[in-house]
Amino acid sequence: MSQHKCYCGPGYATPLDAVRDGPREKLLYVVTVQPKLDEPHGDYLSTVDVDPDSPTFCQVIHRTFTNSTGNEMHHSGWNTCSSCHFVEEKRKAPQRDRLILPCLNSDRIFIVDVGSDPRAPKMAKVIEGDVLKKANVTAPHTTHCLPNGNVMISTMGDAEGNAKGEFVEFDKNFEFVGTWTKGETALCGYDYWYQPLFNVMVASEWGAPKLFRRGWRDSDLDDPTQYGRRLNFYKWNERELFQTIDLGDEGVCPLEIRFLHNPKENQGYVGSTLYSKVYRFYKDEKSDKYLTEKVIDCPAKKVTGAGSEYINGMMTDILISLDDRFIYFSNWMHGDVRQYDITDRSNPKLTGQVWLGGAILSDSTVKVIEDKELTKQPDPTFIKGRRLLGGPQMLQLSLDGQRLYVSSSLFSPWDKQFYPEMVKAGGTIVQIDIDTVNGGMTLNENFLVDFANEPYGPSLPHEMRYPGGDCTSDIWIVNE
């Protein structure tokens, strides 16, 4: 499919076409978790108006409820993206009209119709958790569409909730096809990204569902087979795991993983959550293997009044701008969002930093007694009179790279453990304005989406997507 020109799915021929020609986002689809586990409407997809010329700007204008409990919707993905579904005739080109919402706790997968009415999505299909359990997989996470028009979702556990890194495939009608890996499976699973030109897919690791579902415990790290620290590389066409790189103690919990958007680049980055490190992975020019190097290190802060001697950053999301110039990440515990220029791939340069809450604020009971980066503890952040609670979590960047949206919820059992005040008050989404010429970030004081007064109580916003695709869902294929 890379040898001849043909029509493809919706979107843009290249990442730079998306930067130049993509429209400004007007809607934001937000995975929203209901923290009250017995509330019958359950989790939902929020449609948020982000058009500054609209009378409902910064408001939730529609809610697509699951009407079931115990789900924990988390990440989402599209039925097709910019160029990974090829057809010979333009009239047969697929439509990006279904948003796929896997659930970490119930193992359900919700299919939402966003094409019929983008401002008021509706539920199209529910895949029950038994479908996955029968294949001995659970805890579905990352969704990507495949070049053949199918959809693949990563999973993190076996039917008993033990760690297992696998993938499940569904056809275009969302009928179960089967598991993906041939031969050995990875110890753990989480996120993944593929590059067909180089016949490679790379996947990261969280941990065993039976462990992370009940909240964080330091003892979880005692068994490295049940909590991740590795990158797993697969031969894309053969579906075979061919290399595993152990990132060591500093690399515990490598979560969000991104190849560069340019499909001719055989390298990318992963954020290791617990100790806030960014690793670059790249192909060894002298062999068929991949190598890694730590390129960003956010040091822990030595504290008193926190119940532990150090507070680590907890890097919970990363993304790369579509022009592959900047990488962004959030430190959920420290409370900052950072921008690095990655023009020199091995030597990222810090170009922007914004504070949005966190656990080390100046008016908290935590006192920082040793800090390798700051000279004083950051102050609380207020927007429109609302104090930002919790820390910055999920990120989504506009196609042109000028607006970065930041939500506050990580995973409701962990939200309740680390930031109960945020759960009680409801989460938020804020916007950071980006200087795409010189680098730099500024918090937009006029943008706030507040989930405090939702119909069934305060709720928790997590992942965000635009109707026309975004920086973390589209995978481009070389088509020349």
Q: What is the mean pLDDT of the chain?
A: 95
Average confidence (pLDDT) over 430-435: 98
Res 451 pLDDT > 70: yes
d(CA 471, CA 397): 6
Specify the 3-state DSSP secondary structure of 421: helix
**pTM reported for the whole predicted model:** 0.96
- For the record, the structure tokens of 8 come out as 């493809």
Tens of pLDDT, residue by residue over 170-228, are: 999 999 999 999 999 999 999 999 999 999 999 999 999 999 999 999 999 999 999 99
* In contact, 292 and 245? CB cutoff 8 Å: yes
At residue 3, the pLDDT reads 38
Tokens linked to 404 = 């970065």
Which residue spans within 273-325 are E strands per DSSP?
Answer: 277-283, 290-297, 301-304, 310-311, 315-320
70-84, 100-114, 354-368: segment of lowest average pLDDT: 70-84
Contact by Cβ (8 Å): 410, 332 = yes
Percent of the chain at pLDDT > 90 equals 89
Euclidean distance between CA atoms 327 and 334, whole angstroms: 18
The answer to whether 359 touches 306, Cβ cutoff 8 Å, is yes
pLDDT digits (tens, 9 = 90+) for 222-252: 999 999 999 999 999 999 999 999 999 999 9
285 has a pLDDT exceeding 50: yes
The pLDDT-based confidence of 272 (bands split at 50, 70, 90) is very high
In this prediction, residue 84 has a pLDDT band, given cuts at 50, 70 and 90, of low
* Nearest one of 123, 111, 114, 160 to 138, comparing CA atoms: 160
Q: How confident is the model at residue 83 (pLDDT cuts 50, 70, 90)?
A: low
Q: How far apart are the C-alpha atoms of 415 and 391, rounded to whole Å?
A: 10
For the beta sheet containing 27-33, the strands, ordered from the edge strand earlier in sequence to the opposite edge, are: 60-65, 44-49, 27-33, 460-465
Per cent of the chain over pLDDT 70 is 96
Q: What are phi and psi of 95, to 5 degrees?
A: -105, 140
Please tell me the predicted confidence (pLDDT) of residue 9.
66
C-alpha–C-alpha distance, residues 363 and 378, integer Å: 9
Residues 6 or more apart in contact with residue 448 via CB below 8 angstroms: 58, 383, 384, 386, 428, 429, 430
How many C-beta atoms lie closer than 10 Å to residue 457's C-beta?
A: 15
Q: What single letter denotes the amino acid at residue 149?
A: G
Burial class (CB in 10 A: 0-12, 13-18, 19+), 319: buried
pLDDT at 95: 86
pLDDT at 8 over 70: no
Q: What is the pLDDT of residue 2?
A: 38
Instruction: Report how far residue 458's alpha carbon sits from residue 415's, in angstroms, rounded to the nearest whole number.
Output: 13
Which tokens sit at 204?
Answer: 């990261």
At residue 5, does pLDDT exceed 70?
no
User: What is the pLDDT at residue 4?
Assistant: 43
- Per-residue pLDDT, averaged over 265-283, amounts to 97
Residue 147's pLDDT is 83
The CA-to-CA distance between both ends of the chain, in Å, stands at: 9
**Residue 349 φ then ψ, to 5°:** -120, 125
- Predicted confidence at residue 423, as pLDDT, reads 98
